[in-house]
Amino acid sequence: MAADVTEDLLALVVEGCRMPVRMTGSDEWPLAEIISIKDGKDSFYVHYIDYNKRLDEWVARDRLNLCKIQPPVKKDAKKGARPPSPDAASRKNQSGRKRKTLHGAAAESQQAKASRQALLSSSVHALSDSLASMPDGADEAMKDVPMETEEPAAEAAAPPAPVQQQNLRKGGSMVQSHDDTVTRIKNVQLVELGEHRIQPWYFSPYPQEWINLPCIFLCEFCLRFCKCRTSLVRHREKCTLYYPPGNEIYRKDDISFFECDGRKCRPYAQNLCLLAKLFLDHKTLYYDTDPFLFYVMTKFDEQGYHLVGYFSKEKESSEDYNVACILTLPPYQRKGYGKLLIEFSYELSKFEGKTGTPEKPLSDLGLLSYRSYWSDAILEILTEQLKRGSPSNPPLLCINEVCEMTSIRKDDVISTLQHLNLIHYYKGQYVLSLNKDVIDTHTRSMSKRRVRIDSKCLHWTPKDWSKRGKW
């Protein structure tokens, strides 16, 4: 009886419906949306509502709570239906018989969809009531399922063929919203870069013949992708690169930064963007890299300069953005390299003599990294000024002076001060107040930053791209 009810409920599972799903490595059952179905409804690709898309995954049927299935939400219901105008109604009445016939067929189709939707909803309630009336043993047999130890392999969906000449850039960094089913599903299972095997977080438009492989092997210096390790070994015998193709503009200890022009180093820039898209949800520069500069951070050893992270920057930005996309590769995260990338971007802004800000909106991890850096940079200035003053003669410092010393835009400075609860309205003016707890927290945070940018090691001259004609 339990098996029959399960099969009946499983027949109601379609793309777009929602239900509680047990997360991997957890006993939680958050609400999730079914994105795709494969293997005869044995595997389901789900997106956990109110969770980051990097947690999306393929799950088996025994991790679905079929008793609480919700039918798909119609798109028209989300946007709201707009009533037809009188002119449109008049034109509709004047149309021919063929138009009326087609309209009648469309109306019947809409009625059929509505009836199926009502049948689906009623069937869910009926089967759920039937399940609730089953014996306790059968009910527990369906609820207490063993935890999966291995995820089913993801079946790669075919990405659209890239159009090299198509300019899809919107704003600074070609922000795209991926709402279709293809780009919502992770299509690469593993990538091997040097000594690291990394599991991707998001979709990336790698060629179709590569995404069905269990692992994509990347040359860690030119970022060319290969189908197997043997091909990678043969490629490394011919590849002459041991560092990113560009000018080394910074070196201190084992950390170096290379400036790569998106037009002069187009193959490398496109391969870098393909790799970065695996870990960035909304941004990609694959189709149009010419208007951008890429600042690649590397770590040096006897084998060469290994990629740690990068950020891209527009050659000409009307909004004075100093960062378009920024990424620290997962093996190097939580080691201070993210803040180092951000600090380097603001060091370039100091050399340019202007304030900068990253493109908005920031991702969740990007916002945390930037807010942490902004807090450290601003508190470092405030504590230095506080040491120069005295309790009877506190230092005078305005927000514009903080912006000049840090190259952080005024809006970001104000939002950070508000986040830290340091700015207050007192006797008709805004004042900054520091307490011992904030200073102690800042001191502990700065003591953990082992690597910092040394401006003396930066050898770089800003270019005025507006006077250089075509990039």
Catalytic residues: 359
Phi-psi region of 207 (alpha: psi -120 to 50; beta: other; left: phi over 0): beta
| Helical segments of 38-180, H only | 75-79, 86-93, 97-132, 136-143
Q: How many CB atoms lie within 10 A of CB 338?
A: 23
Nearest-angstrom CA–CA distance, 270 and 265? 9
Q: Which two tokens stand for residue 56?
A: 């999306």
145-152: list long-range contacts, CB under 8 Å, 24+ apart.
145/62, 145/63, 146/62, 147/22, 148/24, 148/59, 148/60, 148/62, 148/63, 151/24, 151/57, 151/58, 151/59, 152/39, 152/42, 152/43, 152/58, 152/59, 152/60
Residues 6 or more apart from 74 whose CB is under 8 A from it? 117
Q: Which two tokens stand for residue 164?
A: 């090299």
Instruction: Note the residue count of the chain.
Output: 471
Q: Which two tokens stand for residue 382?
A: 């405030």
| Structural contact between residues 9 and 66, judged by C-beta atoms closer than 8 angstroms | yes
Residues 6 or more apart from 270 whose CB is under 8 A from it? 285, 286, 289
Measure the N-to-C terminal CA separation of the chain; round to a whole number of Å.
Answer: 70
Q: Which two tokens stand for residue 152?
A: 């089913």
